[in-house]
Structure 1
Amino acid sequence: MTRISAILFDKDGTLFDFQRSWAGWALDLLTELAQGNPARRAALASALGFDLCAARFRPDSPVVAGTTDDVVRRLLPHLPEWRAEALARHLTEASVAAPMVPAVALGPLLEGLAARGLVLGVATNDAEAPALAQLEAAGVRGAFDFIAGFDSGHGAKPGPGQVLAFAAATGRSPDEVLMVGDSRFDLAAGLAAGAATAGVLTGTARAEDLSDLAGVVLPDVGALPDYLDGIAAGRG
């Protein structure tokens, strides 16, 4: 394996625990959009792949790996009073305030990775503005040399654009990059760019859902230092 000199993280489900960060937010959003209509609330939840009884996203939810535009397309048939642009703007603005829950203690982890000489980035299918706000609120925005959303001009995952842009922006070859994510979109993007890949289980996917695209599947991003040590020792 080429030496890893850069790590590109997905955001939701990777840096932040997906269900703990977004399930409560989704319940509030569905209640707001339904305007007191239980049938509409159920239809909207179904469109988002959200289990109202369990208050959890299903693994096949478009919210897990899709863009804001993907979510808007799913919701619009049930919201005839909304226009696509207005709904996209509303979702983006609402997501800025989502109470993100870090998957692990991110500050010490990112400081330790940077101390190894690694450059770090974030590539998300969320919009760039809420990504920046959420990373700032978590106190880790400054740890990253590159942050891109689906609307940052590099395309969205599973396309390779964000990974290639990260490599170019940090002066790395794509094969020096480790793409870390919780979804098949994340890993497919990494592979398409020629990067190494690592899956994590803090989203909705199981290990078996990711293993064919991942060089390794880890419980969470906190396991990265040991994994990198293993590579350095020839065990990776």
Structure 2
Amino acid sequence: MTIRAVLLDKDGTLIDFDRTWAPTFHDLISEVTRSDARLMRALSESCGYDLDRCAFAPDSVVVAGSNADFTESWASILGVADADALLAYVDEALGRLSIAHVSPFDDLAESLERMARAGFLLGVATNDAEGSARAQLDALGITPRFAHVFGYDSGHGAKPGPGMVRAFCEAVRLPPSQVVMVGDSLHDMHAGRAAGARTLALTTGTIPRAALAPHADHVADSLSLGCDWIEAQATAHGKPAQAI
């Protein structure tokens, strides 16, 4: 069936993960610890962040996971009894601190305009907190492009679970077969396939093409090239994209 809606991951898909989050996490760790060098080092090591290089390890839990995946260990290191309160603080702080660093890919505006002009319904599904995601989309001036924005805390679970993809399909009243999940991680591909959606992988994140390919219907090296494939799928099924 033809593709009629596109659900996009955020980090590594719409915005450059390293350029956005590497400096943001340095700011966060400094704020949380009040610049205590020992605590900064401990928090960094616990989540796979190199404090000296201001960079994430390839297997860092932050790369594809949610904030809930590392704040429990942070609570233990900091001696914070209420891990949920710390998680709420981290969610808010990341949304606030990231605005100064949020870095969209060069082809983002053009790609979104292209998909909107073709008539595709657009949404975002991210393992970031919904509030943080909306703050970044607002800062980039692209929030109106998306009919729905889902975060790990929106009530549908985090990826690789299929909850956000299913919620988007229900919201736009389309079967999963008419929706494509676009992302740069295996979590995105697994979430899409588990929900029954099409999957488009981008090599704009940290995962190489060879690792993504077995889990995707197609792999592209940029969002704009991904648009080529999406539009080709729409027209191949007898419905020009602009008529959707």
Task: Report the TM-score when normalising by structure 1.
Answer: 0.91
Q: Which residue of 2 aligns with 1:71?
A: 70
Give the aligned residue type for 1:209: A
Match for residue 124 of structure 1 among 126, 129, 135: 126
Q: Which residue of 1 aligns with 2:48?
A: 49
Give the aligned residue type for 2:60: S
Q: Which residue of 1 aligns with 2:239?
A: none
Shift, 1:119, TM fit: 0.5
Shift, 1:165, TM fit: 0.9
Q: Which residue of 2 aligns with 1:215?
A: 217
In structure 1, list runs of 5 or more residues that go unmatched.
Answer: none
**Post-superposition CA distance 1:45-87 (Å, at most 9, x none):** 1111112333211221111121221121232221114631221
Q: Which residue of 2 aligns with 1:225?
A: 227
Contact 2:125–2:149 (8 Å) recurs in 1: yes
Number of residues paired by the alignment? Answer: 233
Contact 1:15–1:104 (8 Å) recurs in 2: no
Task: Please give the alpha-carbon distance, in whole angstroms, between the structure 1 residues aligned to 2:109 and 2:49.
Answer: 31
Contact 1:68–1:88 (8 Å) recurs in 2: yes
Shift, 1:202, TM fit: 2.4
Shift, 1:118, TM fit: 0.7
Aligned runs of 1:8-19 on 2, under 5 Å?
8-19=7-18
Task: Report the TM-score when normalising by structure 2.
Answer: 0.88
Task: Please give the alpha-carbon distance, in whole angstroms, between the structure 2 residues aligned to 1:122 and 1:73.
Answer: 26
Aligned runs of 1:18-97 on 2, under 5 Å?
18-81=17-80, 83-97=82-96
Task: Please give the alpha-carbon distance, in whole angstroms, between the structure 2 residues aligned to 1:170 and 1:36.
Answer: 45
Give the aligned residue type for 1:62: V
- Cα gap change, 1:85 to 1:194, in 2 (>3 Å): same
- Cα gap change, 1:131 to 1:230, in 2 (>3 Å): same
Contact 1:9–1:122 (8 Å) recurs in 2: yes
Shift, 1:105, TM fit: 3.7
Task: Please give the alpha-carbon distance, in whole angstroms, between the structure 2 residues aligned to 1:142 and 1:6.
Answer: 15
Task: Please give the alpha-carbon distance, in whole angstroms, between the structure 1 residues aligned to 2:201 and 2:133.
Answer: 20
Q: Which residue of 2 aligns with 1:157?
A: 159
Q: Percent identity?
A: 42
**Post-superposition CA distance 1:201-231 (Å, at most 9, x none):** 2222222232221122222212222223443
In structure 2, list runs of 5 or more residues that go unmatched.
Answer: 237-244
- RMSD of Structure 2 on Structure 1 (CA): 1.8
Contact 1:157–1:189 (8 Å) recurs in 2: yes
SS of 1:100's equivalent in the other structure is: coil
Q: Which residue of 1 aligns with 2:241?
A: none
